[in-house]
Amino acid sequence: MNFNLSEEVRAIQDMARKFVQNEITPRMAEDDANHAFQEDLVKEMGRLGFFGCPIPEEYGGSGLGFLAHAVVTEEVSKVGGSLRAAFNMQTMGTAREIYQFGTEEQKRKYVPKLASAEYLGCIGITEPNAGTDVAALKTRADKKGDMYVLNGSKTWITYAQVADVGVVYAYTDPTQKHKGLSAFIVDLHSDGVSTGPTAGKMGWNACPTGQIYFDDVRVPAENLLGGEEGKGFKCVMGSLDNTRLTAASGGVGMSQGLIDASIKYAQEREQFGKPIGTFQMVQEELARMIVETEAARLLTYRCAAQKDEGNLNNSLETNMAKFYAADVSSRVADGALRILGAYGYSTEYPVERLLRDAKVNQILEGSANILKMIIATDALGYRKANK
């Protein structure tokens, strides 16, 4: 498998690296401390084409592909998780999902505006009693003439309070279990939509997370994703196969950010008259961090390259990449904290933020348990992951 990046991909990777250095890094700590949503940065990333890689040019993207999406996400994630969230809110969970599952009219209407961040997007799956068990959600969409009427609530929704449109999952026929689940493109400025923040959270602080309430919200029937009822489960699973690639890339980027901070510190900090980088135990920690991150990167690039080859249903390889990259980012954050000592615990350095942000990698877009279950049941022959 060839992971050589084309000239165009290297150019956007370089642009992302410079954007991180010049625009994001100088204000990241302050925005995180103030819980300030970095809307201007999201909009600018949209204008620069960061969200359009896996979207064809015809629909407002660059068509550079999934590997390009992975490397750009990786660059932006080096400073934390708050902005990496945008790669799923604007691309994988919304624009790319509408591109894959939507009608021609839906694609033309929404994909370019999400990819350019003219519209902010969100993904409405989780509910108070439906986390991992997606089929347990209770939101209803009842057909009334040429409208669906939405009732229910969503929780833990990234961008809930700021999004213009959401891909929202609701039952059109709850008697059919997951076969009665449908997906809708919902205008979140519609009458009957209200939002509120979730309780305070540990990380991703420069990115809002909230609840969305639907109270008799009228959604035009033409906004039923793909124009067919009962396709919601297929759409959500297809979408997770893409959002997990972003999550894996996020894990790799955070790990690399932690390694970079650790190397710099280990070269500068002196104890016993020498840089701490000369101590073998610090070197052992660093070597482990580097090798695990490189392994996570290879799994992530393999997953992306397979998708670029047209294998979009590579759930097994996607789940491996997401599980491993998430786990590694947590371990690398522990290692970085050990190398920086008290300064790793201080808000003066990026390590404490990256550690808090890395933790969520093991929860959202498929918890570690679920990903391990998919990998093991495939190996045991109980249930094939790649359909």
> How many C-alpha atoms does 197 have within 13 Å on its Cβ side?
8
Q: Which is nearer to ligand FAD, 184 or 265 (CB)?
A: 184
Contact 53, 60 (CB under 8 A): no
Q: Which is nearer to ligand FAD, 49 or 203 (CB)?
A: 203
Q: Does 123 bind ligand FAD (CB under 6 A)?
A: yes
Q: Select from 136, 291, 363, 376 the one that contacts ligand FAD (CB under 6 A).
A: 363
Q: Which is nearer to ligand FAD, 306 or 319 (CB)?
A: 319
Structure tokens at 354: 């990256």
Q: Select from 364, 374, 375, 385 the one that contacts ligand FAD (CB under 6 A).
A: 364
Of residues 129 through 188, those in contact with ligand FAD by CB under 6 A are: 131-132, 156-158
Q: Select from 369, 376, 377, 386 the one that contacts ligand FAD (CB under 6 A).
A: 369
- Taking the complex as a whole, the smallest distance from the CB of residue 352 to ligand FAD amounts, in Å, to 17
SS3 content of the chain, % helix, strand, coil (to 5): 55, 15, 30
74, 229, 352, 365: which one is catalytic? 365
Q: Does 220 bind ligand FAD (CB under 6 A)?
A: no
For residue 225, give the nearest of 65, 351, 62, 103 by alpha carbon.
103
Q: How would you class 149 by CB atoms within 10 Å of its CB: exposed for 0-12, middle for 13-18, buried for 19 or more?
A: middle
Residues 70-109: x where in contact with ligand FAD by CB under 6 A, - otherwise, as a string: ----------------------------------------
- Taking the complex as a whole, the smallest distance from the CB of residue 214 to ligand FAD amounts, in Å, to 14
Across 341-373, b (16+ Cβ under 10 Å) vs e yields eeebeeeebbbbbbbbbbbbbbebbbebebbeb
What H or E segment, with its residue span, contains residue 352? Answer: helix 351-359
Q: Which is nearer to ligand FAD, 303 or 360 (CB)?
A: 360
Q: How far apart are CA 252 and CA 68, in angstroms?
A: 14
Q: Which is nearer to ligand FAD, 131 or 180 (CB)?
A: 131
Contact 250, 328 (CB under 8 A): no
Q: Is 352 an active-site residue?
A: no
Tokens 């999550």, located at residue: 247
Query: Which residues of the shown chain bind ligand FAD in the complex (CB under 6 A)?
Result: 122-126, 131-132, 156-158, 201, 204, 209, 360, 363-364, 367, 369-370, 373
Residues marked as catalytic? 365
